[in-house]
């Protein structure tokens, strides 16, 4: 039996990498895998390598571990490629928040839609194109498991610009939403069944049951009994739309025009403006703590993550069937969403690979929101694929929260400033200032 090779691209995202490794090494069939780590930061790469060896020892695993500053050295003959790169790191993220804030545009997370999501995608696309070309040459049978946001934009770009077909975008929002809802209705997670579909960070809980009985009435009772729950964005959306969204309130507020532009709504729903900058700072502190712990031999407290990538790898390697949620090109999977959009749907995975499943048409009000989201995705991807900088501005104009906050001339001026600030992180054809 050949050894499974798993390449981590952006392995310097040390804490997340370690969580995935804890899940992988918990499977007996993967304890001797070849773990190929790549990062362009030597310090982070060394920390990732030390962390990998520590976790392997803790789980009684004996993997082959290699570390590579050059991406192409990590990829040959890989069976799976896990992409967790964040291009520009904290510096670029601060740009994504600080410049829009000067225009009066509020963001909470800024990694999926909005100006933050648009420019995070545009600076990630050149990396994805190069990675796709390397995979096609060096490990053409590999599955690319993408965690890098903005998920829908990145998977759509991979589909249109690279020709890769063994690609799935992975996110934990469905899983943790359902864990949370199970807790609210006081039913063990293991006893619930559910079906979700939509787009990444804006999918919907279409079914929520135990033993065939609808649990939504119990959720309504829980909300009615707690005066704090209605002060959450996604509870507010659920009450108005009839289906619970699968991402946090902080995320959800950014994808619609109703909340962030209004001071009263920010107060009512306790929306944390600029929250992601705090997350970035905490991630850096956690990295420093991890590096220090590895340096002085302090045991790391690493727990499994329940992420989908290790489950997918285990199922493909062993043939054990599972159901997961993945982000893939639509092609009719959700009939009333654009055929070339990227959707989040249940997927079956076993020894033959990953197979997305078709779901029923979404309720009209949910499809309407998802189509608005996918309009932005489409325009951002078109900007890069068609080398058309005007589509960057069109995407920002179509974005619900941005359009609610700014007149069109300010949107174009903001995009000009963002293009200038991100400079050579963007492909050359998109760096022009277009003016108003």
Q: What is the CATH number of the domain that holds 117?
A: 3.40.50.720
Q: Would you say residue 436 has pLDDT above 80?
A: no
- Between the CA of residue 217 and those of 98, 185, 206, 208, 230, what are the distances in Å? 42, 9, 14, 10, 15
pLDDT average, residue stretch 205-226: 97
Domain count, the chain: 1
Task: For residue 12, give its domain range.
Answer: 5-169
Q: Would you say residue 48 lies in a domain? A: yes
Smallest CA-to-CA distance from 90 within 280, 272, 275, 291 is with 280
Write down the pLDDT at residue 2: 82
pLDDT average, residue stretch 378-387: 98
Please provide the distance, in angstroms rounded to a whole number, between the alpha carbons at the two ends of the chain: 61
Please provide the average confidence, as pLDDT, over all residues in the chain: 95
Write down the pLDDT at residue 22: 94
Q: Catalytic site residues? A: 172
Q: Would you say residue 247 lies in a domain? A: no
Q: Would you say residue 385 lies in a domain? A: no
Residue owning tokens 């420093």 = 288
SS3 category, 257? coil
Q: Would you say residue 118 lies in a domain? A: yes
- CB of 124 closer than 8 Å to CB of 169: no
Write down the pLDDT at residue 283: 82
Tell me the pLDDT tens digit for each residue of 153-197. Answer: 999 999 999 989 999 999 999 999 999 999 999 999 999 999 999
pTM of the model: 0.95
Q: Would you say residue 209 lies in a domain? A: no
Smallest CA-to-CA distance from 381 within 208, 158, 112 is with 158
Q: Would you say residue 401 lies in a domain? A: no
Q: Would you say residue 293 lies in a domain? A: no
Write down the pLDDT at residue 421: 96
Q: Would you say residue 392 lies in a domain? A: no
Q: Would you say residue 414 has pLDDT above 90?
A: yes
List all residues 6 or more positions away from 124 whose beta carbon is below 8 Å from its beta carbon: 85, 87, 148, 150, 154
pLDDT top residue among 330 and 290: 330
Smallest CA-to-CA distance from 168 within 339, 370, 371, 325 is with 325
């Amino acid at each position: 039996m050949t050894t499974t090779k798993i390449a981590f691209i952006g392995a310097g995202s040390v804490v997340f990498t370690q969580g995935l490794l804890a899940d992988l090494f918990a499977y007996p069939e993967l304890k001797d895998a070849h773990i190929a780590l790549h990062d362009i930061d030597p310090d982070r790469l060394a920390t990732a390598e030390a962390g990998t060896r520590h976790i392997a020892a803790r789980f009684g695993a004996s993997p082959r571990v290699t570390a590579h500053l050059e991406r192409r050295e990590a990829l040959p003959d890989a069976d799976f490629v896990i992409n967790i790169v964040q291009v520009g790191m904290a510096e670029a993220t601060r740009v994504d928040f600080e410049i829009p804030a000067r225009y009066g545009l509020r963001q909470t997370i800024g990694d999926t839609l909005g100006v933050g999501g648009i420019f995070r995608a545009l600076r990630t696309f050149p990396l994805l194109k190069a990675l796709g070309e390397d995979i096609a040459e060096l490990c053409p049978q590999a599955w690319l498991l993408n965690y890098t946001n903005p998920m829908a934009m990145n998977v759509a770009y991979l589909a249109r610009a690279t020709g890769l077909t063994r690609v799935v975008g992975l996110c934990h929002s469905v899983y943790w939403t359902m864990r949370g809802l199970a807790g609210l209705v006081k039913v063990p997670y293991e006893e619930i069944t559910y079906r979700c579909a939509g787009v990444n960070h804006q999918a919907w809980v279409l079914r929520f049951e135990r033993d065939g009985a609808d649990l939504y009435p119990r959720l309504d009772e829980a909300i009615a009994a707690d005066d704090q729950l209605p002060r959450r964005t996604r509870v507010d959306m659920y009450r108005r739309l009839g289906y619970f969204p699968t991402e946090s309130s902080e995320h959800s507020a950014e994808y619609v025009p109703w909340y962030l532009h209004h001071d009263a709504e920010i107060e009512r729903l306790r929306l944390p403006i600029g929250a992601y900058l705090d997350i970035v700072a905490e991630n850096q502190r956690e990295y420093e703590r991890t590096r220090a712990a590895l340096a002085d031999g302090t045991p790391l407290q690493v727990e499994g993550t329940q992420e989908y990538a290790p489950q997918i790898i285990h199922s493909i390697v062993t043939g054990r069937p599972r159901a997961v949620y993945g982000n893939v090109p639509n092609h009719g999977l959700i009939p009333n969403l654009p055929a070339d959009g990227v959707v989040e749907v249940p997927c079956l995975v076993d020894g033959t690979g990953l197979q997305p499943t078709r779901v029923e048409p979404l309720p009209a009000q949910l499809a309407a929101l998802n189509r608005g989201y996918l309009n932005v995705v489409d325009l951002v991807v078109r900007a890069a694929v068609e080398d058309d900088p005007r589509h960057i501005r069109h995407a920002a104009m179509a974005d619900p929260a941005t359009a609610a906050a700014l007149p069109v001339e300010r949107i174009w001026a903001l995009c000009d400033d963002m293009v200038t600030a991100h400079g050579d992180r963007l492909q050359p054809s998109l760096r022009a200032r277009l003016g108003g």
